[in-house]
Amino acid sequence: MIHAEKASLTYRDGTQALKTFDLHIPKGELVYITGPSGSGKTSLLKLLMGIEFTSSGNLEVLGQPMSPHHESAIRKMRKQVGPVFQDFRLLEGRTVLDNVLLGMRFLDIKPHDRKVRAEESIHRVGLDHKRHHPISNLSWGECQRVSIARAVARNPILIVADEPTGNLDKDNAIHILRLLESFRSPETTVVITTHATHLMTTGQPLLHLIMEAGQMTAERRGADV
């Protein structure tokens, strides 16, 4: 699923964001990446999404080597990923349903199936009653749920959420994290970054990656550990 070997990331301005690390995340895993601001969580997700590329070593995501030379393959790989962003990145001027549909429009899905999937995912995040509302009328918590609905409607095999609770109050944050965790399945890996370690689930097995000043340590948690 995700495999890194002696990878590191140094930005073009010389800032070392991630020191050399190895990483292996198998399919169907729930992964929490935690650490304080500036520890390298977002940099790691940028590598996973192909926004940045390793300065050394190798990284493969969904079997795809992440390198700027594989542009079209990375675009294809992104179609199998459901991204969730801290600032939601919803498309303005459109309804909840439009936003979820737009995330599937360029995938090889028939229009009728797109509609069914969108309705299902909106139902799953509990926004049935607001599916025709413009996103400008929603609260931040609801916006994040739309973002999740857009991600999961694509039937991704990897969900990547970057600080999905960053803009939310505690109750909403817990709700969003539990919702994201619920999409983990034997076929779907869920990777979540957060600085709120206390909000992590305690009820299921997970891989916990702890970041500190660009350095990564890993530990397993949960019922089967």
Partner 1 sequence: MSKLLSNLGYVFQEVKTILRLNGISSLLSLISLTLIFFVAILAMSSWQISTSLVQALENEAEISVYYDAARVESGDLDLSDLISEIESADGTLTTLPISAEDAYTQMSVILGQDAAVLTQFDENPFEPYLEVGIDLSKLTEVIAEIKSLDGVVYVRDNQTVLEKVASIAGVVSGVGIFVALAVGLATLMVTSHIIREGVHSNREQIMTLKLLGAPNGFIYQPYVMGGVLLTTLAGLLAAGLFLWFVTVVSADLAEVITFLPPVNADRMISVTLWGAVAASFVLGLAASLLGLSMIRNHGMRV
By rule CB under 8 A, what string of x and - marks binding of each residue 18-57 to partner 1?
-------------------------------xxxxx----
- Give the one residue of 24, 36, 56, 76 binding partner 1; rule: CB under 8 A: 76
**Applying CB under 8 A, does 116 fall inside the site for partner 1?**
no
Adjacency order of strands within the sheet including 2-10: 16-25, 2-10, 56-61, 64-65
φ, ψ dihedrals at 205, nearest 5°? -65, 145
Size of the site for partner 1 (CB under 8 A): 30
- Give the one residue of 15, 24, 26, 79 binding partner 1; rule: CB under 8 A: 79
Distances from the Cα of 219 to the Cα of 107, 161, 211, angstroms: 36, 19, 11
Single out the residue of 61, 66, 82, 50 nearest to residue 2, CA to CA.
61
The nearest distance, CB 188 to partner 1, in angstroms, is 16
Exposed, middle or buried: residue 145 (CB in 10 Å: 0-12, 13-18, 19+)?
A: buried
Q: Which of residues 145-204 bind partner 1 (CB under 8 A)?
A: 150, 154
- Give the one residue of 3, 19, 27, 94 binding partner 1; rule: CB under 8 A: 94
191, containing H or E segment: strand 189-194
Which positions lie near partner 1, rule CB under 8 A?
Answer: 49-53, 68, 71, 74-81, 83, 85, 89, 91-94, 102-103, 105-107, 111, 150, 154
